[in-house]
Structure 1
Amino acid sequence: FSNAEEILLEIVFEDFELKKLGLESEVDLHVYEVPVEYQTVQSLVPSLWKQYHPQLVVHVGVSGMATTVTLEKCGRNHGYKGLDNSSFCPDSQCCIVGGPDCIDSVIDMEIVCKRVTASGLGVAVSVSKDAGRYLCDFTYYTSLYLSHGRSAFIHVPPLGKPYSGEDLGRALKAIIQEMLDLLDQAEEKIHCQQHFH
């Protein structure tokens, strides 16, 4: 594992040609597919954080209702009543017993959305406050809880409705780069404040 300046762990539900596109050379990208199962999420997501200690985790999920590439602002702890692919649902109907109701990402999704839209990618990007109370939301909250907000979730439409894998790959690459830039700026600001005091 190289001593990269930035380490990005990408958890995806479908491969949108990100491996082929690549990111900046100083970014280590790790791609995982997460099964649609509550119990797997509860064990896999913490183990990935422990293994990589990434600067950022970006989750990508396909939503049949999405018509744009959608940046999720927050994850929610309660309301998980839908059965997963193993016909299982948590008895508590929540992600983390005793955890806060809602956790926001440290990344300002509105800024990311504006910047990517202004870059003229040809892919519509929007922001959402509700990731859906199913495995996507469950995964996002779990990751936000573990990372103290250093996570993001992007919902994408199904392939071809209307965007191709290449379109979505380009959009994801641009979005992730903006997220990393925002994180870098925030860390530089904190570093300067510490140094000043």
Structure 2
Amino acid sequence: MVKIIVTGFGKFGNIVDNPTTKLVELLKDDPNVHETHVLEVSADGVRAALEPMWQHAAENADEPTVFLHMGVNAGGKQIDLEQFGYNLANFGIPDERGWVANNETITENEAASLETSLPLEKLLAHCTEQGCKMAISNDPGRYICNYTYFLSLSQTKGRPNHYALFVHVPSFTVQPQEEQLHAVKTLVAAMHATL
């Protein structure tokens, strides 16, 4: 049984109602989801929340685990499965604790980019067949979404049973809540069927 840990984010900048907060809340009772968390949109908040989970996963290396992180792309047109995380933090606005990263390395002595080891094409094909509006993206931005994703990819690499994926969702005005929820539930079910 694959253990899927789903995270979303709270408010930041001019995003007061983050759609991923609601999606995480609605996924809490999904039988395919092990646990859900809403993270603060800050580098320190992300590390504080996720480090114990990464540590637990490391101590249970044989247990198939997916860290599925979700964030909002206010200008997005569909749900994007992010293929890469980049070792660069460059914030256009301060995070929720006031930090503004200016072209800073996230993790010293780590690659410039890391790629998810999940079979994205296969997952996308499954979701598309189920009527989900989704695409694969290679640009998660360089704000907290990418910061979270790169750290998670770095933590899970080298362990064949552990995976990380970042999913960007548009606003609910672009893609309604029910559609997004169906898409994420379909993605989670596809992970269970594939891994």
Q: TM-score range by the shorter chain?
A: 0.7 to 0.9
SS in 2 for 1:151: strand
Is the CA contact (8 Å cut-off) linking 2:68 and 2:165 kept in structure 1?
yes
1:84 aligns with 2:95: yes
- 2:78 counterpart of 1:73: no
Q: How far off is 1:81 after superposition?
A: 3.7
Q: Cα offset for 1:182?
A: 2.5
Equivalent residue in structure 2 for 1:128, among 130, 137, 160? 137
User: How much has 1:66 moved relative to structure 2?
Assistant: 1.0
TM-score using structure 2 length: 0.80
Q: Distance in 2 between matches of 1:92 and 1:146?
A: 21
Aligned residue in 2 for 1:23? 31
**Secondary structure of 2:46's partner?**
helix
By how many angstroms is 1:91 displaced?
6.9
Partner of 1:6: 2
CA RMSD of aligned residues (A): 2.0
How far the C-alpha of 1:72 sits from its partner, in A, is 0.4
Q: Are 1:55 and 2:54 matched, yes or no?
A: no
**Structure with max Cα Rg:** 1
1:41-52 equivalences under 5 Å are 41-51=46-56
Q: Which moved more, 1:53-62 or 1:131-140?
A: 53-62
Distance 1:39 1:177 in 2: 31
Identity %: 22
Quick one: which amino acid aligns to residue 9 of structure 1?
I
User: What amino acid sits opposite 1:139 in the alignment?
Assistant: T
Tell me the SS of whatever aligns to 1:93. Answer: coil
**1:6-54 deviation line (CA, Å, top 9, x unaligned):** 211111221312124x134xxx521101111011222322222224556
* Structure 1 CA distance for aligned equivalents of residues 136 and 102 of structure 2: 31
Quick check: 2:86–2:113 contact (8 Å CA) kept in 1?
Answer: yes
For the pair 1:166 / 2:178, whether they are aligned, the reply is: yes
Is the CA contact 2:91–2:100 (under 8 Å) kept in the aligned structure 1?
yes
Aligned to 1:157: 170
Q: CA deviation at 1:117?
A: 0.5
1:40 partnered with 2:45: yes
3-state SS in 1 of match to 2:142: coil
The CA deviation at 1:73 is 0.6
Structure 2 unaligned segments of length 5 or more: list them. 10-20
Moved over 4 A (4+): none
The amino acid of 1:60's aligned partner reads M
Q: 1:190 is matched with which residue?
A: none
- Tell whether the 8 Å contact from 1:107 to 1:182 is kept in structure 2 after alignment: no
The alignment covers a number of residue pairs equal to 172
